[in-house]
A and B are shown apart, each in its own frame.
Chain A
Amino acid sequence: MDSQTILQLRQEMIREGVLFYYCGYVTEQVLSVLGETVMDKLELDNTERPVARGVFSVFVEQVQNIIRYSAENQEGQVGERPVDLRHCMLAVGRDPAGLYVMSANAIKNRDVERLRSGLVHIHALDRTGLKAMHKEILRGETPTGSKGAGVGFVDIARLASRGFEFHFLALDDELSYFILKAHL
């Protein structure tokens, strides 16, 4: 990557209000450090505690989803240690109305419709509906193996006080880019 590209990227991020940006592989260890850094940044910015907690919660759910499901991954052994790296882009930023948490990761094209319909369903629910669905899933009344209705997405929807949006962009014959942006 040349120096001009790096400068352009930096300027783009500033223009988009990005406070925190990560692009690369994540693991549980990376999540620990990123989560703490996001919290520290929000704290230093004197973010209201409930908002900061919401941002942190959404961030953790998004990263844990990626660790489990990102289709852009690399598995193998490093010495005796099994390694599973999952690629993603993450950003926490500020717009005039508040904060947002964005995640992007590859998923298999064949999973797009299932995930999309799950999210469309969650997106249409009001607070009461979200609460009911949350409970149904926790009770095990909804198949949890299905990505489309994971409790993590219901949690994100509950926490996103200004709503959430999602997009699926085709990458190639096999993969699509799944972008989830929660507004708090």
Chain B
Amino acid sequence: MKSNTIAPVAIKSRVKKGSVPVYVPFLFLIPAIILLTIFRYIPAFSAVYHSFTDWNGTSASNWIGLEQYNNLFSDSVFLRSMQNIVVYTITRTLLTTAMAIIGAELVYNLRSTQMRSVWRVVFTIPLVIPTTVVFLIWRRVYSGDIGLLNDTLRLFGLDGLTRAWLGNPDTALWALIFVGFPLISTFGFLVILAGLENLPQEVNSAALLDGCSRFHRVFAIDLPAMRGPLAFVAILSINAGLQEFAPMFIMTGGGGPVNATQSPGLYLYQQAITYGKYGYASAIGTILMLVTLAFSIFILAARYRRAIDVEV
């Protein structure tokens, strides 16, 4: 049977072959490489180097070998911060990804293109609010005496459930995890929605003709086809989560109470800025960098081990 394939369209280059020397494109990369080197690579290598010193940020440093790392792994606050950040990152990544999928599927399945556009805008607008403002608003939402959450609970006669959400070690970390609830308005929502809209419509139509329900199609077709975008969203979310600093800093006064919301990023900041222990802070940064790198490699490896179906 003759296959009915479509031949790829040849794109005609606007630049004549041989008219531009081969090195020219590399010249355009030089500014980016210089900036990357100055603001990314040098600080990163400097941090690794200083993690083996007792640098205080201003004076000359002394080489002390692995002492900072020895201290780090016997520092209960640092270990607590690692535990917190793993819980925070995994839970928040799962929640935000799940909610982004739900949000994207709901919008994608709207029949009216106008309504689809409206909802896409509705879910996107909150993304333009500065995150600092978001954290300040949520700090007030969780406030014990004048907080929206407790006021709402009291309104429904649920006074017994009211509490100091950020002041209680049992609830503080979870309160941070749920900041931004229902967690739909995220970058992940946009990525997944874009991925869904790029899926070949013929596959969807065929599935529906074969009697596949919309709900079943999500698991049978959409999610397997979205492994690329999902891996992308997961990597971004995990990277951001592991390095999280702002909500702990803004909402819980520096990782409290009793380090219940302490994160390695915040602990690094405190050691460097508050105590002038730049060497110790550099060791925390190096560990954090390695952990983030390991997670990213793991996810990328898992993603590339499987077939790549759809690219965003």
Q: Do A and B come from one complex?
A: no
